[in-house]
Structure 1
């Protein structure tokens, strides 16, 4: 299945109106909005850093819950783990698409 860049961009724009504003943290939303002048490598680096922070936060909450910290609830820990998991899976999918695109470009005749 081939997906063109223009059709994908149009679909993303149409879907962006369906996302509730409270579901994305303001910091991440601000990062995405302010990347118009950034290069792709910098944007990718920020995304990987963000995933790392989510995983670190998840690990910290899990450790605190295991140690018996009463300020940390099980639901907060599970939600943090799921956020980290989803972010990691999305990063892996982006990486896979980049590798696929690179292989396709490298196999093109010159």
Structure 2
């Protein structure tokens, strides 16, 4: 299953669940919801992002290996697109890391 198909499938599931869930709070009252602590949710987001980049790289490597073996179901175009997606995802992850390091250094330079 390609990444786009997985994303579309997940979005469809989210939309279906959202349509099934109806708010039960009285009119004009915003229902309370549990909120993850910012630190935990940020760490979770980073972990999921790194995992997604890793999966993209593994998928691209698998397609390249299948093409090299001569698999008739894998075209050169698919291999190149997967390779580029992997490269872009990794580059984006590195840039986010660099921005985080810059922000950390800026905070450390602040006087208390």
TM-score by length of 2: 0.66
Q: 1:61 aligns with which of 57, 60, 63?
A: 63
Q: CA deviation at 1:29?
A: 6.0
Q: Which residue of 2 aligns with 1:52?
A: 54
Q: Which runs of 5+ in 2 are unaligned?
A: 13-34
Q: CA deviation at 1:27?
A: 6.1
Question: Following superposition, which runs of at least 4 residues in structure 1 exceed 2 angstroms of deviation?
Answer: 24-30
Separation (CA, whole Å) in 2 of partners of 1:41 and 1:94? 14
TM-score by length of 1: 0.68
Alignment length, in residue pairs?
A: 84
Q: CA RMSD in A?
A: 2.5
Q: Which residue of 1 aligns with 2:88?
A: 86
Q: CA deviation at 1:91?
A: 0.3
